[in-house]
Chains A and B, each alone.
Chain A
Amino acid sequence: MSILATSLPGFPDAAPVAGLAGGVLIGLAAALMLLGAGRIAGVSGIAARAFAIGEGAMQRSAAFAFLIGLPLGALIVTLLTGAPAPQFASPLLLAVAGVIVGIGTRLGSGCTSGHGVCGMSRLSQRSLVATASFMVTGFATVAVMNALGIVVLP
């Protein structure tokens, strides 16, 4: 797995090879959903469908199967690479962030996967604008929190 640890000049913490490999897997998964099932692999939409919050033609059983696959795949990679467990934000921040993500992805009709991966690769006007929008506020949020000295991860 040493090649996965290849770094980028000037960015000692970056993992470009692991990132690219992960991205290709995400692309293949989305391609399987598109060419196999004829659907967009948009996680927020699939989650809403699975929990009967959103309408859609996707069967709820298939939506749940997709969601169950996500931790399954992450578990396989964690076991294979033996990567140390990452840190997560405090329960309060996780809850606040979760509510905002839930509201935002429903109003915005998608998230990083639906707009960012599936929509941008199709040059969908809505997805390009949505992705620009959440990238800008994502950058701004971290910048503001850092400026205020708010530490999220220990």
Chain B
Amino acid sequence: MMRAVVVALASGTIFGAGLALGGMTDPARVRGFLDLFGAWDPTLAFVMGGAVMVMALAWIVQRSMQRPLFAEAFALPNRSDLTPRLIGGSALFGIGWGIAGLCPGPGFAALAIDAPAAAIFLAAMLAGMMLVRLVDRPA
């Protein structure tokens, strides 16, 4: 449906603008934040704080809604189990995030800043994702 595409494009564009404005597309900024025991740069705490505040309000609004504005129904995660896979996978993600100072969102946003660098990161990321799928469900 066209509406879903328009909402997603608008959301992605605002998201990408926020990533660039907040410094998430600058690996030096990100690694400066992760350098807690060195020359720590707290900027990303403000990015995370601003995003979480707005989203906390959005969740309050969401609870009073029967259905989303432009879709038939909410499709939200509802798991609450803490598994080794969740914790280990997230730990692994943090290592990759620390090495290059890029996570998935800024990886895509960086296509507008340094396309070759972003493309290498994204191709490798998608390959990693594919690997998990192959191990989970051998072809």
Instruction: Classify the secondary structure of A's interface with B.
Output: helix
* A144 smallest CB distance to B (angstroms): 9
**Are A28 and B54 interface neighbours, CB within 8 A?**
yes
Instruction: Classify the secondary structure of B's interface with A.
Output: helix
**Are A30 and B51 interface neighbours, CB within 8 A?**
yes
* Chain B contact residue count (CB 8 A cutoff): 119
**Are A99 and B94 interface neighbours, CB within 8 A?**
no
| A interface footprint on B86-97 (CB within 8 Å = 1, 0 otherwise) | 111111111111
Q: Which residues of chain A come closer than 8 Å to B86, judged between CB atoms?
A: 107-109, 126, 129-130, 133
Chain B, residue nearest A119 (CB): B77
Which chain B residues in 24-53 approach chain A with CB under 8 Å?
24-29, 31-32, 34-53
Q: Which residues of chain B come closer than 8 Å to A142, judged between CB atoms?
A: 31, 34-36, 38, 98
Chain B, residue nearest A51 (CB): B126
Cα A39 to Cα B74 in complex, Å, equals 6
Q: Which residues of chain A come closer than 8 Å to B1, judged between CB atoms?
A: 59
Cα A93 to Cα B27 in complex, Å, equals 12
Q: Out of A67, A115, A122, A141, name the residue touching B12 (CB < 8 Å).
A: A67
Interface: B82 (CB within 8 A): yes
**Are B19 and A14 interface neighbours, CB within 8 A?**
no
**Are B90 and A134 interface neighbours, CB within 8 A?**
yes
> For B14, B52, B67, which residue has the most chain A Cβ atoms within 10 angstroms?
B14
**Are B75 and A39 interface neighbours, CB within 8 A?**
yes
* B97 smallest CB distance to A (angstroms): 5
Q: A36-B11, A96-B124 are in contact. Are A26 and B91 (CB under 8 A)?
A: no
Which chain A residues in 93-137 approach chain B with CB under 8 Å?
93-113, 115-122, 124-126, 129-131, 133-137
